Copies of this chain bind each other. A is one copy, B any other.
């Protein structure tokens, strides 16, 4: 596995691979890799000729009060984990390489409207603008044919799908199901922030999603009843502070009154300073 920090060097590797007729699979990450990321990389390895994972904590997608400076970083460990999946390249650029104007700034932004207005977009203004902008840059740098994202960031997946389609990008977006710890907690680099009591309390998230799935499987279709049940369950956990619980259309992120076919139950909950997200995609039946 090659570790590359310069854009031009990565472009050269991509050009060479394309000349050999290889497809390019891209796995964008912010590093501090966990089993969720590694699952994306293994999937890409199976399916693509050249596999590039990127490791970039993107300042543009953090708000001024958020955890950009504190976001966990461990390049040596990430290199080892990434290499174990058999990918070809880990692209780990410096901030100035991605934003040469300095200070992590740029004049050009990609904005996706409406889909970004609710849920995490409402709680984190500018977040998806930063995501869409950096993902566009990475797609262009890697000339990605297929890009792999974790379904845990369900709104991010919807935003990137919409963006790729609206801008006629030549990339296919693949969303890979959430990977969980054995006790049900969704894998996240931010789980590291939790103390043991919070770690235990956070199990209420997957438990409440399972409860909602049970209701749906039993035929319940009233969105407000399902959301209320989930909120009740989470509220019983004293360390949990709800940011949002919402049943939405998985493509548009618009709230649903009733669950007719596909639906996404998405939630964000704070444990101390740590904000976790989780979700459940209901495919109908």
Which residue on B lies nearest to A171, using beta carbons?
Answer: B140
This protein's copies in its complex: 2
Q: How many residues of A contact B (CB 8 A)?
A: 26
Segment of A30-38, A109-117, A182-190, A254-262 engaged in the interface with chain B: A109-117
Does A166 have its Cβ within 8 Å of any Cβ on chain B?
Answer: yes
A167 and B137 form a contact (CB under 8 A) = yes
Task: Say yes or no: A110-B113 contact (C-beta < 8 A), given A140-B168, A169-B140.
Answer: no
Does A249 have its Cβ within 8 Å of any Cβ on chain B?
Answer: no
Residues of B within 8 A of A106 (CB): 166
Instruction: Give the interface SS of chain A, mostly helix, strand, loop or mixed.
Output: mixed
Q: Could you tell me the distance between the alpha carbons of A11 and B136 in the complex, rounded to whole angstroms?
A: 19
Which residue on B lies nearest to A252, using beta carbons?
Answer: B107
Residues of B within 8 A of A141 (CB): 168
Q: Could you tell me the distance between the alpha carbons of A111 and B162 in the complex, rounded to whole angstroms?
A: 17
Residues of B within 8 A of A169 (CB): 140
Does A6 have its Cβ within 8 Å of any Cβ on chain B?
Answer: no
Sample (17) of A-B pairs whose CB atoms are under 8 Å apart: A7-B168, A11-B170, A107-B112, A107-B115, A107-B162, A108-B110, A108-B111, A108-B113, A108-B132, A108-B166, A108-B167, A109-B111, A111-B111, A137-B168, A140-B167, A140-B170, A141-B168
